[in-house]
Structure 1
Amino acid sequence: MTRDKVEEAVGRFPVAILPLGATEQHGPHLPLGVDTLLAEGLARLVARETGALLLPAVPFGYSWVWREIPGTVSLQQHHVEAVIKDAAYSVSRYGVKLLALINGHEANNASMKYAARELQDELDMPVIYFFYPELAQVMEEHCDSRSWHGMIHACEFETSLMLALYPEHVRMERAVAEYPEKPALYGNSTLSLGELSESGVYGDPTRATAEKGRRMLDVFVKSISAGIREGFELAQGGGQDR
């Protein structure tokens, strides 16, 4: 877009969407940019549904657990928060009244929450944030395989979304299922995902299909679009709900 097109878009509907991703391994069948691609793809669908301005995706997140794997680029958690805050300050200067964050990388969730809370006290523009709304329920309804202790990574869920949005980047012939053993201290120590899985997969991507991905995307688009409309109404009314 040119500067004039951006100005026109903000004039029509002063809401911006910032997709947040990561650059890290996703097994032998998916590219490193899965989290960024999915955040951007979902955000693009929501932008079409709502008329919001779509910002370029942030391709790096907090990926400490994969730091030894070739290709990983990890930002410190407070740097992710700082990027979000800088983006919010930037768009607020030219008339955006609501910033919506759409995240494709679970480890970014804390940064989103704390950035939004700090901005509540610093900026006269609300920030709302989303990470696959009602994820557990959506997976239960649309996925056939079990998750690895509630986590999503290179599994049926993410692979199905990739097949729906970017099938050219998926190599299903290389997909493998893996459910690593969970150590007793996992989650209570520095034991990380990068030390547990041989393939880098947590779940069963072999059961993924594009149709499952399309059905799940439809749920997410409707939910996030409704949230953006509600957030904008609150912003217009002077209320901010975190």
Structure 2
Amino acid sequence: MGQAKEILNMTRDEVAAAVKEYPVAILPLGATEQHGHHLPLGVDVYLAEGISRKLSEQTGALLLPSMPFGYSWVWRNIPGTVSIQQHHVESIIKDVAHSVARYGTKLLILVNGHDANNSSMKYATRELMDELDMTVIYLFYPNMEKIRNEYCASPTWYGMIHACEFETSLMLALKPELVDMEKSVCEFPEKPDLYGMSTISLGDLSKSGVFGDATIASKEKGERMLEVFVNDMKELINEAYPD
């Protein structure tokens, strides 16, 4: 396993040489929003960045700086939250893609840690197809349901993950020093009939900010899931850009 090629720590000459050798770059996408009382606001950034760093180490792809903000409207009233408009997320993705394409990048990989970024990734990528001679793929925990069901004991909250066993386990594997398991809780809020058809949001539903059972998370579960996700993503990268 090599060292991650983080462009913030590289010179222009090192980046030029890396692109010539393997013209692939990774952009981690996250958000700054609440994740209960036991996790930091940077969960989505840390998870996307941690996975992206492992991919860079194992493939030689350039690791771009992480995008720390996403569309976090549902948590907008909670201190620390920073939310940007969804179309701004799309614009940032497109601007980054145009930038890296100018110096020879042939594949840009979007590694996402924030569910609300998924729509922005999809629509930005569709537009970029008509604008650039560069492939862009977007990844959000491939085969997540299968992997989560295999390694996690608790159900999701109507298919959603947030500050639950899944995310807490991944954080215990990547950033254990930022997890306070003594403050973890189990909460499955009631779902109003108009949820998803009105402005009722997640921030209106959960007292703790947790949607699931964070109390049974473990580092071991997180490590096992990370290994599977990274291996699956590597296969997808190799399919998108055969070396």
TM-score, normalised to structure 1's length? 0.95
Could you say which residue in structure 2 is the equivalent of 1:185?
Answer: 194
Deviations 1:93-112 (A, max 9, x none): 11111100000000000000
Alignment: residue pair count: 234
Q: Give the equivalent residue in structure 1 for 2:145.
A: 136
- State the secondary structure of the residue aligned to 1:122: coil
CA distance in 2: counterparts of 1:49 and 1:221, whole angstroms: 9
**In structure 2, what is the Cα distance between the partners aligned to 1:189 and 1:28?**
27
Partner of 1:76: 85
Distance in 2 of aligned mates of 1:3 and 1:208:
42
In 2, the alpha carbon distance for the partners of 1:64 and 1:107 equals: 10
Distance in 2 (CA, whole Å) between partners of 1:126 and 1:189 is 36
* Cα deviation, residue 4, structure 1: 1.5
Distance in 1, matches of 2:90 and 2:147, equals 28
The 10-residue stretch of structure 1 (2-11 or 60-69) with the greater mean CA deviation from structure 2: 2-11
Q: Distance in 1 between matches of 2:204 and 2:14?
A: 47
- The amino acid that maps onto 2:182 is E
- Tell me the distance in 2 between the aligned counterparts of 1:48 and 1:187: 39
Q: Distance in 2 between matches of 1:6 and 1:21?
A: 24
Distance 1:144 1:119 in 2: 39
Question: Partner of 1:208 in structure 2?
Answer: 217
In the alignment, structure 1 residue 63 sits paired with structure 2 residue 69: no
- Residue deviations 1:115-135, cap 9 Å, x none? 000000011111000000011
1:105 equivalent to 2:114? Answer: yes
Q: Is 1:92 matched with 2:89?
A: no
Q: Which runs of 4+ in 1 moved over 6 A?
A: none
Residue 51 of structure 2 corresponds to 42
Show the counterpart of 1:4: 13
Name the residue aligned to 1:227: 236
User: What is the distance in 2 between the residues matched to 1:106 and 1:50?
Assistant: 25
Q: Does 1:166 align with 2:175?
A: yes
CA-CA distance at 1:189 after TM superposition: 1.0
1:2, distance to aligned residue in structure 2 (A): 1.5
Gaps of at least 5 residues in structure 1 are: 237-242
Aligned-pair identity (%): 68
Per-residue deviation, residues 49-89 of structure 1 (Å, max 9, x unmatched):
11110101000001111111111101100000000000000
**Matched residue, 1:154:** 163
Q: How does 1:122-133 map to 2 (within 5 A)?
A: 122-133=131-142
How far apart, in 2, do the equivalents of 1:185 and 1:219 lie?
A: 36
The residue type equivalent to 1:147 in the other structure is: T
CA RMSD of aligned residues (A): 0.8
How far apart, in 2, do the equivalents of 1:61 and 1:211 lie? 29
CA distance in 1, matches of 2:182, 2:148: 23
- After TM superposition, the score normalised by the length of structure 2 is 0.95
- Superposed displacement of residue 48, structure 1: 1.1
Asked whether 1:118 is paired with 2:157, we answer no
